[in-house]
Structure 1
Amino acid sequence: MNNVKTQKTTDRSALGILKAGTDNLNTSRKPVHVAMFSGGASSAYIAYHIVQKYGKENCILFFTDTLWEDEDNYRFMDEVAEYIGMEITTRIDGRTPEEVFHDVRFLGNSRMAKCSEELKVRQTLVYLEELRDEQNLEPILYFGIGPHEQHRAINLQNFYEHNPLEAISTRFPMIETFKEDLDTKKIIRDEWKIALPRMYGLGFSHANCAGRCVRGGLGHYALLYNVWPDQYAEQEAMEERFREKFDKDVSILKRNSKAFTLKEYRELMDTHGVEKYLSEKDDTIPCVCSFS
């Protein structure tokens, strides 16, 4: 790891975005630095950063598995963990996102996704309480969110600050510490010699749920159909199973504020060409899976 270039740092807390409310530490417990390891490049670099700063014995690489992850994500995470010299701590609910949708009788969509709430957030909170109650450790969470997504950092900070049991401190080194042009993908690829998750190379903005993220939006699903039609077909079949079982006119996507099924979208792309829809935009809310 000695071949990794030292990055110039600067204190950017003067932005006034994340300074307040980040020091909710219970000083009666020993701090432990938890990298929210999502399988993406930024979270991988943040994991490396905190291990170098605080030592392996004071850090945890934490991953919550949705059971929909692309196989190459696991390869990437294993190689990063080996490079850093730590094991990955994994928590699994045991259900897939589809099983969550059926349990809560609500199909996840671009505005609301119970899958991330159940499979990611709930598993994280349970684990953090285990650290506190069973090991007398005070967790500090680290996220790989960049300067261009400060609103997401604020939302995460507010969520964990208002944890009903006890506030949890959060850190965002990509905003608070590193210079803006830190290229984590280039560092991992060229300096660490680790191939990035293949989903980046296919054009996806994040490498979660093997392209089946219900919050992806129209352009995302056009890309999925273009590069991984089999994955699109699985998601289309899942949507149809839900609609039939609960007899509801619901869909993952929306068009003109109305339900717009993946079957309808596929037929439209087949008629007019998928290329026409690759730049489609809609009002989506980023999934917590893309930064935790």
Structure 2
Amino acid sequence: MSRIISWFSAGAASAVATKLINADVIAYCDTGSEDEDNRRFYEDCERWFGRPITRLKNERYRDTWDLWEKRAYLSGVKGAPCTKALKVEPRLAFQQPEDIHVFGYTADGSDVKRAMQLCETYPDLHFRYPLISRGLTKAACLGLLGAWGIQPPRVYAMGFPNANCIPCVKATSPNYWALVRKEFPKEFERMAALSRKLNVKLTRIHGERCYIDEIPADWPVTEPLAPECDLLCQAAEDLLTAQ
């Protein structure tokens, strides 16, 4: 018997998508490394949904830091290990072949493209995109949360484009790392030290790879591009691994 699973990510779009769908299960892959305010949002959404969220976690790792340190690997040409270990593996262990998967892809152009790619990449899986079908953009989702009296995760107000882990080692934008340095200085310093230890240059300035602590102090924090963290990320990494 098929289940409708809404994959909640503690972000605005997935919350609205979940509210719009009468799912059998609301599931959340806990990486242990999101901003602490995401927990408040998670609990607010449980009350808003009127039902519990099923928390999935890879018990081998406490959080992304634990994974990076144990594997002594952050990110490279084959991607980052955190998406697969902390998001994909718990999901695969939980899902069943006939499940219908609800994702909060929005009607923004880039999201529509990703939704189409997801269907093409995983033709045996069943997907629903309630935000795209209703023409709801990410901005609209944030507006709807406000209208419904739900305070979105604070990272949006800080300027981050999503509510993913802090920090995300797949991000190469110096604007992103400059924003992390401004809003999460402890996490920035910890990553600067770990990336130096593992000799990983996470950002790129004027086409050249460099360590994040080499980003000038006055670097702008606007438009801090951060990659998505979903099944397509893992599919791209798997493709590179197979080459």
Shorter-chain TM band: 0.7 to 0.9
TM normalised by structure 1 equals: 0.69
In the other structure, the counterpart of 2:51 is 86
State the alpha-carbon separation in 2 of the partners of residues 281 and 202 from structure 1. 11
In structure 2, the CA distance between the partners of 1:257 and 1:102, relative to structure 1 (3 Å rule), is farther
CA contact (8 A) 1:111 1:285 kept: no
Counterpart of 1:183 in 2: which secondary structure?
helix
Q: Deviations over 1:214-261 (max 9, x none)?
A: 1232211111112222221122123233x1xxxxx4222233554311
State the alpha-carbon separation in 1 of the partners of residues 159 and 189 from structure 2. 19
Larger-Rg structure: 1
In the other structure, the counterpart of 1:186 is 143
- Residue of 97, 107, 126 corresponding to 2:93: 126
Counterpart of 1:214 in 2: which secondary structure?
coil
Structure 1 residue 171 and structure 2 residue 121: aligned? Answer: no
State the alpha-carbon separation in 2 of the partners of residues 76 and 235 from structure 1. 25
The amino acid of 1:213's aligned partner reads C
| Runs (5+) with no aligned partner, structure 1 | 1-29, 52-57, 133-137, 162-166, 244-248
Counterpart of 2:10 in 1: which secondary structure?
coil
CA contact (8 A) 2:118 2:232 kept: no
- Residue of 141, 162, 169 corresponding to 1:206: 162
In the other structure, the counterpart of 1:140 is 100
State the alpha-carbon separation in 2 of the partners of residues 116 and 197 from structure 1. 21
TM normalised by structure 2 equals: 0.82
Counterpart of 1:31 in 2: which secondary structure?
coil
In the other structure, the counterpart of 1:41 is 12
Q: How much is the aligned-residue C-alpha RMSD, in angstroms?
A: 2.7
The amino acid of 1:227's aligned partner reads E
CA contact (8 A) 1:109 1:253 kept: no
- Residue of 156, 169, 182 corresponding to 1:226: 182
State the alpha-carbon separation in 2 of the partners of residues 261 and 153 from structure 1. 33
Q: Deviations over 1:166-190 (max 9, x none)?
A: x221111222x20346812122122
